[in-house]
Amino acid sequence: MFDTFAKDVDEGLSEDPKWLSSQYFYDDRGSRIFQQIMSMPEYYLTACEFEILQTRSDEILERLGFDGHFNIFELGAGDGIKTKEMLASFLQAGADITYIPIDISSKAISLLAERMTNMLPDLHLNPQVGDYFEIMDKIEAEDQSPNLVLFLGSNIGNYEATAAVALLEHIHAHMQIGDALLVGFDLQKNPLEIKNAYDDPHGITRDFNLNLLSRMNRELGANFRLDQFEFYCCYEPLSGELRSYLVSLCAQSVEIAANKKTYLFGRNELITTELSKKYTHAEIEQMATSAGFEFIAHYHDNRRYFVDTLFFKP
């Protein structure tokens, strides 16, 4: 992980414009800050998807139409709090399921497995650490049950348009005919609602972004001065793209010992830290078709801020 982190940082800070991958937000402190973000009243995404999985899972189960046992793969399972609502609903309806959460973090999977065992003692659980698709292929080769694949939390929105379709194509390639995919998408809405969710008045999202520099100082031997950088984000409502940046407040140089290199920053130079794309229903359905899926249904929260969309592999 250390070598990959150092390599990705070098690649991003060597390009023009500079960028850092949002996947590195989530060290222990970053994960704690993100828990604070999810608790903010302005950050509607988590609550909206929680509502969908709490109130619409019976409909999703009925629409799946699976006979007998089926597996539920979750790609990037995280803490599984929202997914627990779906699993509880499925179990209450008598579904015969095995939940297979997959994450690259062994700590995250360990905590999730402990939590799920306590909350849903009747759940068949098969937690996995590693590459999503290698694990899917291995389990599918041993078990011919149908599968529901979950990619929740609007994670798809962190990918540029072509990369998002490519990811869906990759998921499609590792699914069996008749399998289902449920993806979370944040929808376009009042731009002020979106801007407030990512540029909160409490400064928590600012701390979340600046923590990325702290992590590089600690893990890569960098010497970023956090007081010489500021957080900025902007939302473009016509494209649906929200982008987050760190801004260098002065001309400066930063050494990163892990890479044995010095990186130069101009005054007001930007480092892109995140893309969070907001979608229309038409964009979602077109993406699915482009990736080879059949669109089945949209499941919304009551404000229609967010959607979990169901696809089948025909």
User: For the segment 184-241, what is each residue's pLDDT rounded down to a tens digit?
Assistant: 999 999 999 999 999 999 999 999 999 999 999 999 999 999 999 999 999 999 999 9
pLDDT (average), residues 11-19 = 97
| Burial (0-12, 13-18, 19+ Cβ within 10 Å), 230 | middle
Amino acid 186: pLDDT: 98
User: What pLDDT does 168 receive?
Assistant: 97
pLDDT digits (tens, 9 = 90+) for 150-183: 999 999 999 999 999 999 999 999 999 999 999 9
| Predicted confidence band of residue 2 (pLDDT cuts 50, 70, 90) | low
Q: To the nearest whole percent, how much of the chain has pLDDT over 70? A: 99
When pLDDT is cut at 50, 70 and 90, the band that residue 82 belongs to is very high
CA distance 36 to 47: 13
pLDDT digits (tens, 9 = 90+) for 214-230: 999 999 999 999 999 99
Give the per-residue pLDDT at 285: 97
Average pLDDT, the chain: 95
For residue 35, is pLDDT > 80? yes
Q: What is the mean pLDDT of residues 125-144?
A: 92
Q: Nearest CA to 265 among 252, 282, 278, 283?
A: 252
Cβ neighbours of 113 (radius 10 Å): 17
Instruction: Check: pTM over 0.85? Answer yes or no.
Output: yes
pLDDT at residue 284 is higher than 80 = yes
Q: Distance between CA atoms of 135 and 16, rounded to whole angstroms?
A: 36
Which whole number is the average pLDDT over 121-142? 93
Task: Output the pLDDT for position 106.
Answer: 83
Q: ∠ CA(117), CA(122), CA(127), 5° rounding?
A: 45
Q: Output the pLDDT for position 31.
A: 83
Share of the chain above pLDDT 90, in %: 89
CA distance readout (Å), 98 to 136, 137, 211, 220: 13, 16, 37, 39
Closest CA to 216 of 16, 18, 63, 83: 18
Q: What is the mean pLDDT of residues 63-88?
A: 94
SS3 track for 244-296: EEEEECCCEEEEEHHHCEEEEECCCCEEEEEEEECECHHHHHHHHHHCCCEEE
Mean pLDDT of 103-119: 89
Strand blocks (E) in the chain: 18-19, 70-75, 97-103, 124-125, 128-129, 147-151, 180-186, 229-236, 241-248, 252-256, 261-265, 270-277, 294-300, 306-312
Mean pLDDT over 119-133 rounds to 94
Report residue 1's pLDDT band, with 50, 70 and 90 as the boundaries. Answer: low
Rounded to whole angstroms, the Cα distance separating 264 from 285 reads 43
Mean pLDDT of 237-264: 98
Helix then strand then coil, % of the chain, to nearest 5: 45, 25, 30
